[in-house]
Amino acid sequence: MKRLLTAAASLLLLAGCGTSPLADENGTGVRVTTAAVHNRTAPIPFTVQNGTSATLLIPGCGGQMQVVAERMAAGAWSVAPGTPCGDGVSTAAVQLAPGAQAQGARTIANAGQYRLRLVFTATESNGTSFQVVSNEFVVD
């Protein structure tokens, strides 16, 4: 019961944090991070860290985590062009265990200021979706 309450409290933190990388007073939560500068000729590597007590269910693309790239334009974030997953590729969810981290990559073709958005559910969330965004970065 205590574990379920801890997981529920963690999920409430996830839901209430809007578009900031999630962290509680202990520096745990769900985070998406990447380097500050990338070259558009190579996929953008990122890391997802699960500091909660729940297993995360992340949309997949060919066995890899699927994230959405967002580009800053005219002072607002909007979804960047491009398809993160091609037709005919498995979209089975990727599971990320409590305390685990995983690496992924996302291709971005155009220069600009970006962030990555990760949408996920958790095993104890009854299907409720949560989202976090990465740090901002530049693609040149």
Residues 6+ apart with CB under 8 A from 140: 37, 38, 39, 40, 111
How confident is the model at residue 14, as a pLDDT? 40
The domain spanning residue 108 has which CATH number? 2.60.40
| Beta strand segments in the chain, E | 30-33, 37-38, 44-50, 56-58, 60-61, 64-65, 68-73, 76-79, 94-96, 101-106, 112-122, 130-133, 137-139
Q: What is the domain count for the chain?
A: 1
- Global pTM reads 0.78
Tens digits of per-residue pLDDT, 39-68? 988 999 999 999 998 999 999 988 999 999
Range of the domain at 106: 2-139
